[in-house]
Amino acid sequence: PIDNPLSRVPYAHLDFLNRSCRMYHETQTHLFAHANVDPSLPMSEQKEIDLRWTKLEGPVQHYSGKTLVCGHTRQANGRPLVLPGVVCIDTGVYDVDGWLTCLHLETGEYWQANYRQEVRTGRLETPTESGT
């Protein structure tokens, strides 16, 4: 038989995720999504596939002018990626060499920790078109 990893997740946890978690969050200055957004659409009209699964392939300048904070596209260097209109904080915590990243939006400071109990800090770099 095929092992379904979700079968090991307690029902209460799945219920919380299904009923309480939103697909996105929006503030006066930022958009938050797991994966990506269609920059031409209001958040209320975004497609689930973009919000959850579409990889970041470059700058995302949402028509609202708000900055997107996302994940889902691992940054191999272990540092957040800053492009015009977007900050990607997926730094690969799920990989043996990855980091968990926490970002302070107002200051650009971030804190990281890994499974080896190492910690480090940094500050977001100025956005570039290419991310390099």
Better-scored residue on pLDDT, 40 or 128: 40
Q: Token digits for 100? A: 């968990």
Contacts of 29 (CB under 8 A, 6+ apart): 66, 67, 105
In this structure, are residues 77 and 89 in contact, taking their beta carbons and an 8 Å threshold?
A: no
Contacts of 49 (CB under 8 A, 6+ apart): none
Global confidence as pTM: 0.85
Condensed to tens digits (0 to 9), the pLDDT of residues 28-76 reads: 999 999 999 999 999 999 999 999 999 999 999 999 999 999 999 999 9
Q: How confident is the model at residue 18 (pLDDT cuts 50, 70, 90)?
A: confident
* Residue 25: closest CA among 86, 87, 61, 70: 70
Condensed to tens digits (0 to 9), the pLDDT of residues 60-119 reads: 999 999 999 999 999 999 999 999 999 999 999 999 999 999 999 999 999 999 999 999
